[in-house]
Amino acid sequence: MFLRRGRGRLDATRETLAGWLFVAPVVLILGLFLLLPILMALWVSLTDWNGQGSPFQSGVPYVGTRNYTRLFTEDGLVREDFMTSVRNNIYYVAIVVPAQTVLALGLAVIVNSRMLKGRTFFRAAFFFPSVTSSVAISVVFLFMFANSGVVSQLLAVFGIDGPQWFSDSRGTLHLLLGGLGLVDPDNPPAALTGGGPFGLSWWEWLSGPSVAMWTIIMLVVWTTSGTFMLMFLAALQDIPVTLEEAAMLDGAGRRQRFRHVTLPLLRPTMFLVLTLGLISTWQVFDQIYVMSQGDPAKTTLTPAYLSYRMAFKNFDYGPGTAISFVLFAIIVVLTVVQRLIMRRRV
Amino acid sequence: MKSYLTLLALAPIVACAACGSGFNDQQAQPSQQTSGPASLQILIGSSGQAETDAVKQAAAAWAKSSGNSATVTPAQDIGQQLGQAFAGGTPPDVFYVDASRFADYASVGALEPYGDKISNPADFYESLRTTFTFDGKFYCAPKDFSTLALVVNQDLWSKAGLSESDVPTTWDQLTAVSKKLKDSGVTPLAIGDTRDRIGAFMVEAGGWITTPDGKQATADSPQNAQALDYVRTLLKDKLAQYPKQLDAGWGGEAFGKAKAAMTVEGNWIKGALQADFPDVKYAVYEMPAGPKGKGTLSFTNCWGIAAKSKYKEQAISFVEAMTTVDQQMAFAKAFGVMPSRQSAKDAYAQEFPKDAAFLNGAAYAQGPVNAPKMDSVLADFDTGLQKLTTISSKSLLERVQKNTQSAIGG
């Protein structure tokens, strides 16, 4: 009895050991290429490293959380740039994520319908932008939205004098408020310009995405909706036809079936799409780097691009990495919040 | 079970204590001169194939005569590549340093201050030496330079009934001819919406962003305000437009497309016009003088030598060879840059008589801001300049002043 139990424990230990041995390569690789760089970057964000030699040598000044306080509490250009970039990105996320999700779902429903002829063609066509290089598409958009480009000429056909897309830094919410006659954008009310959180006035927070930012928003919605369409399509094809038929027998109309049968069954996919959308929109970089570099008037500056610019242009590696960790925190918090909301709404 | 996990998770960190010290070994070893034939790594931010070829050829000639070897690599994005190389501890031995980035590199100790070891350093233009001086030390030999000048489209000029004698030499004259050009139905002036163009007017008014030694902020001055007010008037009256408003990426493009009769650009515009708009007939004149006399901006690169280079002596000998009058003239012929040595001035003026305006600018040119950590401050200034027509000069300059002070002081 004793002997057998002993051997059993030995076997279990051996099994555990063998198990760890088998996963060791993966754990090592993940640790070396994922965990370790993150920890190293965390260290850099706590220092004033200037990019010369290793950040782990003795001479590198340790500044504690100063790089983080500079982003939030100290009045200065660093905070102002960072908050401007956060503002831009909030508007960007708030428009891109719902727009691309709705568009992707709509496209998926269309190409899933059995009535549509040439479904394969449309699926490929809608998916195509997703597999094309983002840099190449950005350059194409640069041409399309140039002042004498296709878009402006098309608008001109309808007698609309289009904006100078990439040099127009006016906030569209400002324009909207101005258009409704609520405020005068050239002379905003003192109540709004007086003060506001984090060094930006309320007026600046309420600018809305600039005209230039809209071009990037359109570009991203167009390219990513194809990817998400594919996910929705896969989920739609998983929905058993019997359920729909049962709903039909119960007398549910087309809209009711979509609202009460299809949508609830798409919930996990919806969560996936929203999460992926949220993450990628907060991290937007390629399009900014290629198309605008933060111009005009910093209205397309995003935290990801600002982080790059600070670190590699200014040699302010500390604040640069600090921004990326703040960005990480923002994404995690938003994803958790989103998860809670989606779980509650049954 | 859990302790295994922690152990394994920690393993790479422990293992990498070694890679950290690997860095440190290189750090600890002071960059000693290595004797014997050197193999120099040279990183250049080339303007194009012509420049790459010319530098490669010159480097090969030096390598052959000195018994060393030299590898010239053109960079895709030299700022980023150098940043990474410095962080990695293995920078190239010799590389281009842009004047606007110089102070950042010098302040972090990445550059070897070898300027005075080059023969006859006083021969370099005074303004260029100031540009590459940090904390009183002349760091690196200027490679070549460019200045801004007023470029005039001769066809549009005569179409507006103007002649050679109408070329503006003062701000008032500039306004006057601009009005005539506007009446003839063309945008008079295309000017880039950055400090690198509008700054010329600040210099002409007697102002600048910092003191010459780059230690103090002087942005908030009546001179600067006067300059910005003048440019604002031009913009408001549509006597001047930013290139983007003219659907062009930069002043030269707007000018080449004949969307503007004049532009303020540097000598790089020659090559650009020749390549893209060969039919445009143009002439180059010195910038019109402001209230405090003539003024322009200079742009330049220097031959930086890495403080960590193992072959400093050979690197200095290489730079010496690259900055002789003959070699600079060879570069000038190959890719159209102006020699940084004053003793090459006459030869250049003879070879390129049309460039007199650019060349004369050297006497009164202001180099880029030579203080570290100024990139985001100046980018912020540019943002303000883009909105110049809607904001007051005073508030813009106060902002630049505040930001400059915190960048230089902090």
CB B155 within 8 A of CB B141: no
Residues B384, B277 share a domain: yes
The answer as to whether B208 is a domain residue is yes
The DSSP annotation for B367-408 comes to PPP--TT-HHHHHHHHHHHHTTTTS-HHHHHHHHHHHHHHHH
Q: How confident is the model at residue B295 (pLDDT cuts 50, 70, 90)?
A: very high
Q: How confident is the model at residue A305 (pLDDT cuts 50, 70, 90)?
A: very high
Residues B279, B164 share a domain: yes
Residues B74, B207 share a domain: no
For residue B124, what are the β-bridge partners?
B341
pLDDT attached to residue B24: 39
The yes-or-no verdict on residue B17 having pLDDT over 60 is no
Residues B392, B266 share a domain: yes
**pLDDT top residue among A100 and A58:** A100
Task: Report chain B residues whose CB lies below 8 A from the CB of A169.
Answer: 386-387
The answer as to whether B133 is a domain residue is yes
The answer as to whether B5 is a domain residue is no
The answer as to whether B126 is a domain residue is yes
Residues B174, B269 share a domain: yes
The answer as to whether B129 is a domain residue is yes
- Return the CATH number at B170: 3.40.190.10
For residue B217, what are the β-bridge partners?
B210
Q: How confident is the model at residue B30 (pLDDT cuts 50, 70, 90)?
A: very low
Q: How confident is the model at residue B28 (pLDDT cuts 50, 70, 90)?
A: very low
**How far does B17 lie from chain A, in Å, by closest CA?**
10
The answer as to whether B2 is a domain residue is no
Residues B290, B197 share a domain: yes
pLDDT attached to residue B32: 61
Count of domains for chain B: 2
Q: How confident is the model at residue A6 (pLDDT cuts 50, 70, 90)?
A: low
- Model confidence pLDDT, tens digit, residues B54-71: 999 999 999 998 888 889
Write a three-state SS string for A143-166: HHCCCCCHHHHHHHHCCCCCCCHH
The answer as to whether B181 is a domain residue is yes
pLDDT attached to residue B10: 41
Please enumerate residues of A whose Cβ is less than 8 A from a Cβ of B.
16, 20, 24, 27-28, 31-32, 35-36, 39, 50-54, 56-57, 76-78, 81, 146-148, 164, 166-167, 169, 186, 294-298, 309-317
Structure tokens at A254: 């087309």
The answer as to whether B89 is a domain residue is yes
Q: Average pLDDT in the B178-190 region?
A: 92
Task: Report chain B residues whose CB lies below 8 A from the CB of A311.
Answer: 83
CA distances from A148 to A39, A210, A288, B1 (A): 48, 20, 21, 66
The yes-or-no verdict on residue A4 having pLDDT over 60 is no
The yes-or-no verdict on residue A25 having pLDDT over 80 is yes
pLDDT attached to residue B36: 66
Structure tokens at A239: 């929905």
Query: Structural domain of residue B83, as residue ranges?
Result: 37-146+299-366
Closest C-alpha among B340, B315, B314 to residue B327: B340
The yes-or-no verdict on residue A207 having pLDDT over 90 is no
DSSP A199: G
Q: Is B170 helix (H, G, I), strand (E, B) or coil?
A: strand
Q: Average pLDDT in the B205-231 region?
A: 91
Residues B289, B327 share a domain: no
Residues B328, B252 share a domain: no
- Model confidence pLDDT, tens digit, residues A33-78: 989 999 999 999 998 887 777 788 777 888 888 889 988 888 888 8
Cα–chain-centroid distance for residue B361? 15
- Domains belonging to chain A, first-starting first, are 2-67 (no CATH), 80-171+208-344 (1.10.3720.10)
Residues B395, B350 share a domain: no
Task: For chain B, state the CA radius of gyration.
Answer: 24
CA atoms within 13 A on the CB side of B208: 21
Contact flag B87-A28 (C-beta cutoff 8 Å): no
DSSP B288: P
Please enumerate residues of B whose Cβ is less than 8 A from a Cβ of A.
1, 4, 8-9, 11-13, 15-16, 20, 23-24, 26-27, 79-80, 83-84, 86-87, 89, 104, 108-110, 242, 244-245, 247, 372-373, 375-377, 379-380, 383, 386-387, 390, 403, 406-407
**How far does B75 lie from chain A, in Å, by closest CA?**
15
Residue A120 has a CB neighbour count (10 Å cut-off) of 8
Count, residues in chain B? 410
Residues B391, B287 share a domain: yes
Contacts of A152 (CB under 8 A, 6+ apart): A145, A146, A162, A165
ipTM above 0.90, yes or no: no
Residues B391, B245 share a domain: yes
Residues B135, B159 share a domain: no
User: Which of B9, B89, B380 lies at the smallest CB-CB distance from A77?
Assistant: B380
- Model confidence pLDDT, tens digit, residues A273-290: 999 999 999 999 988 998
